[in-house]
Amino acid sequence: MIKHFYLVLISAFILSAVTANAQDTTAVRPGSLDVHFNGFGFFDNREYKAFTERSRTYSGTRVNLDFGLNLDSFNHFVVGINGIHEFGARPFFLRVDPVAYYKFESHKWLFNAGMFSREGLLTQYPRALLNDTLRYYRPNIEGLLTRYQTEHGYETLWIDWVSRQTNTDREQFLFGLAGKYLPSTTGPFYISHYFVLLHDAGAAVTIPGDHIRDNGGLQVRLGIDFSHKTVFDSLSVEAGAMASLERTRSVTGLQHPLGFVASAFARYHRFAFFDEFYAGQGHHISYGDSYYEKKLYNRLDIIYSPFLYKRITGQFVLSLHQSPGQWNDNQQAFRIIYDLGRKTLVKFKD
């Protein structure tokens, strides 16, 4: 069943790319070669009594350098590297991930195929479904992503290959949907949804007692955006439902714990506050935040940005975690994010 769905998913990706190419008929510009440099440094200290195995400090820097061959306004080939160094570690680079993908981008359509950064594409996902350490240690999507966007919102469809099947390695891939719909371009209300599912199959050599697993989650939220209507630079509130999907084939049926989620975000100049609340049944989502295994959980992020300079942002974040029996878990983080943008090296003649 999953295999068939995967084939349908691939067909949808290809169809979206073909449709996008056919619908965009504006004149193209001459090609060019550009360079892009971006990255971030992080220090993230976590004091967790609820999950002692995650009570540790993450620190390091990640840099991305790539070159883009722009055939015209829509069609691009990008190659480069994305490397991470943890402070004090040897060898210097913990891991270097290749960047290599084809990109089609127009006013309404985006289509990526290959190995490309998840930054800005999936970083809007709730941490309950995709945890925040993926940004540090798994920065790239290895697969396909397509997005359709209008003034009424967007829809994103993606697949990310986690592990290729060998005699010892399991076959694993993630796929998902994420979107936002605005009934009115001038009204404050919107609906957002997020879905992710991990297909975890066995190695090529059968292991007795091993079974295929499906694991994922879903959130649907109703939101109100008060930005530019109050003294705050940004102000929004969301509330909705969360479900997770868990199944070990031939062992258990489909389990689907349910719960209520809500969040509020406010930003005023250099200060921001983000509060997340959950109440319901516990969830076990492989790539989600472990705190959602709890039946009750609240997280408050207090954010201060000491400097904002063009393409550079520095942030201090104090996170306060409250769950039953552990009301004083906390986290202190500093991040510096930089993106110098794409700079043209060579322009080709017509």
Q: Assign residue 276 the CATH number of its domain.
A: 2.40.160.10
**Tens digits of per-residue pLDDT, 173-209?**
999 999 999 998 888 999 999 999 998 887 877 777 7
Task: Give the rounded percent of residues in the chain with a pLDDT score beyond 70.
Answer: 91
In the chain, how many domains are there?
1
Establish if 60 belongs to a structural domain: yes
Contacts (Cβ under 8 Å, ≥6 apart) of 95: 83, 84, 137
Establish if 31 belongs to a structural domain: no
**Tens digits of per-residue pLDDT, 35-89?**
999 999 999 999 999 888 888 999 999 999 999 999 988 999 999 999 999 998 8
**Rounded Cα gap, residues 271 and 283, in angstroms:** 32
Establish if 32 belongs to a structural domain: no
Establish if 33 belongs to a structural domain: no
Given a cut of 70, whether residue 11 has pLDDT beyond it is: no
**Rounded Cα gap, residues 95 and 115, in angstroms:** 15
Any idea which of 37-46, 73-82, 251-260, 297-306 has the lowest mean pLDDT? 251-260
pLDDT at 169: 78
Establish if 320 belongs to a structural domain: yes
Question: Are 138 and 130 spatial neighbours (Cβ–Cβ below 8 Å)?
Answer: no
Burial 151-176 (b: 16+ CB within 10 A, else e): eebbbbbbbbebeeeeeeebbbbbbb
Given a cut of 70, whether residue 13 has pLDDT beyond it is: no
Confidence band for 248, pLDDT divided at 50, 70 and 90: confident
pLDDT at 16: 59
Note down the domain range covering 284. Answer: 2-24+38-347
pLDDT at 27: 43
